[in-house]
Amino acid sequence: MSELSGYMYSLVSVPLYDTLGATAIEFIVNQTEMEVIIASADKAITLLDMISVLPTVKTIIVMGELDPQLVAQGAALNIQVHAWTNIERSGLEKPVSPNPPKADDVASICYTSGTTGTPK
């Protein structure tokens, strides 16, 4: 759902897989200058633990149950942490006109596992 909605606003999707490991995630987030990450609560905790090496990340959107302590931890690190359901509700209450991509726009960047070095 997040990927499809991103396409409506010309946002580039960059998947982060569980199997990548912290080093690869750091590489991908920093190379793409990722600002917003949508993750499960357990992965959001991992990302907050890594935030000192992820300087471009500003917002983490959590799918599923959002623990208020996670929001507080994010605030202490100057990172906004939101529940996916709140983002959905905000879109319903205050819709934003789509900004569809052009033919030459990038839709998604998908990295390999990087078994021969950093992800490619």
**Confidence (pLDDT) at 118:** 80
- The fraction of the chain above a pLDDT of 70, given in percent, is 98
pLDDT score of 107 more than 90: yes
Q: What is the pTM of this model?
A: 0.92
pLDDT band at 94 (very low <50, low <70, confident <90, very high): very high
pLDDT score of 13 more than 70: yes
The string of DSSP letters for 30-97 reads HHHT--EEEEEHHHHHHHHHTGGG-TT--EEEEES---HHHHHHHHHTT-EEEEHHHHHHHHHHS---
- Full set of structural domains in the chain with CATH: 2-93 (3.40.50.980)
Written as six digits, the tokens of 25 are: 């995630």
pLDDT score of 114 more than 70: no
